[in-house]
């Protein structure tokens, strides 16, 4: 091994750490943002669920039941989305975030290794200097050679340690990335599977909504029967100053539908 290839090795190790820092940093930021946006989507859908729930109470039984079921299903999907958000935070974003510190530690290890390498280089330069100045001073040259050898052995050990460290780092990174992205995929799969299940149920429920029944209720409520109006217009109109009873027909929805509705709630 030459010092050059050792230098190349050092650069490669630094590049390994820097590359991990760069990309895992990007992944962390983007997945944190993805998680936040998912949480915002959950908020909007929760607001919609609440509005649907409120709206349900203002409509006739068939639409009311349909809106209430839809509201509940939509809220349930948001509960699953909340689970998705929490899992993404703990299983995906947090372990990626941890690489910020891991990278710092590895960089410190690299610096230590580099210091050893520089020490060896210094000893080597000292030896060259002595050889040039006093080529006959066997004792000084011998001592300098011993120092170089010591530094070389030291560098050699540091190199081995560093190789081991960077090897472990890379292995850990591969294992972590595999796990993190498999977890991401699994978390997403679980959410999509649950959402699909709930919405399938929602869709089937909606299909059963009987618009004609609600329209019958609505017609009874909205329609005023004034067939006698044309025959006795004045008499009827003179009665206009007396209020009609508060239990006007439009306040009582179709009884059996109401019963069905109450049974359902």
51 to 80, contacts with a second copy by CB under 8 A?
51-52, 54-55, 58, 62-63, 66-67, 70
**DSSP symbols for 27-83:** HHHHHHHHHHHHHHHHHHHHHHHHHHHHHHTTS-HHHHHHHHHHHHHHHHHHHHHHH
Choice between 1 and 265, CB closer to a second copy: 1
Binds a second copy (CB under 8 A): choice among 242, 255, 263, 265: 242
* Separation of alpha carbons 90 and 231, rounded Å: 78
Residue ranges in 201-240 that form contacts with a second copy under rule CB under 8 A: 202-203, 206-207, 209, 211, 214-215, 218-219, 221-226, 229-230, 233-234, 236-237, 239-240
For a second copy, which residue of 14, 21, 34, 82 counts as binding (CB under 8 A)? 34
In 10 A of CB 160, how many CB atoms? 10
Kindly provide the b/e burial profile for residues 173-209, where b requires at least 16 CB atoms within 10 angstroms of the residue's own CB. beebbeebeebbeebeeebeebbeebeeebeeeeeeb
Binding footprint of a second copy, residue count (CB under 8 A): 98
CB of 96 within 8 A of CB of 31? Answer: yes
For residue 27, state whether it binds a second copy (rule: CB under 8 A): yes
Residues 185-204 that bind a second copy (CB under 8 A): 185-186, 188-189, 192-193, 195-196, 199-200, 202-203
CB atoms < 10 A from the CB of 148, how many? Answer: 19
Rounded to the nearest whole angstrom, what is the least distance from the CB of residue 140 to a second copy in the complex? Answer: 15
- Does 118 bind a second copy (CB under 8 A)? Our answer is no
For residue 261, state whether it binds a second copy (rule: CB under 8 A). Answer: no
- Give the footprint of a second copy on residues 122-141 (CB under 8 A): 124, 127
Q: Give the tokens for residue 1.
A: 């091994």
Q: Which of 90, 142, 149, 252 binds a second copy (CB under 8 A)?
A: 149
Query: CA-to-CA distance for 146 and 137, rounded, in angstroms?
Result: 14
């Amino acid at each position: 091994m030459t010092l050059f290839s050792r230098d190349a090795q050092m650069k490669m190790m630094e590049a390994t750490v820097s590359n991990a820092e760069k990309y895992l940093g990007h992944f962390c930021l983007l997945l944190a943002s993805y998680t936040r946006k998912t949480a915002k989507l959950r908020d909007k859908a929760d607001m919609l669920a609440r509005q649907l729930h409120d709206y349900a109470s203002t409509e006739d039984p068939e639409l009311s039941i349909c809106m209430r079921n839809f509201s509940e299903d939509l809220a349930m999907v948001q509960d699953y989305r909340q689970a998705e958000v929490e899992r993404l935070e703990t299983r995906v974003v947090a372990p990626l975030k941890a690489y910020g510190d891991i990278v710092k530690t590895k960089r410190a290890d690299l610096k230590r290794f580099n210091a050893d390498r520089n020490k060896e280089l210094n000893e080597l330069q000292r030896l060259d200097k002595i050889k040039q100045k006093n080529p006959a001073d066997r004792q000084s040259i011998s001592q300098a050679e011993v120092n170089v050898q010591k530094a070389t052995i030291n560098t050699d050990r540091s190199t081995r340690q560093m190789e081991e460290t960077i090897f472990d780092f890379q292995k850990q990174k591969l294992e972590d990335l595999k796990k993190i992205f498999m977890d991401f995929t699994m978390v997403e799969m679980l959410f999509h599977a649950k959402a699909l299940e709930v919405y399938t149920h929602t869709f089937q429920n909606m299909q059963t909504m009987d618009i004609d029944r609600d329209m019958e209720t609505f017609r009874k409520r909205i329609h005023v029967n004034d067939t006698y109006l044309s025959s006795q217009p004045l008499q009827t109109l003179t009665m206009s100053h007396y209020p009609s009873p508060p239990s006007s027909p439009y306040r009582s929805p179709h009884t059996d539908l109401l019963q069905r509705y109450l049974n359902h709630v």
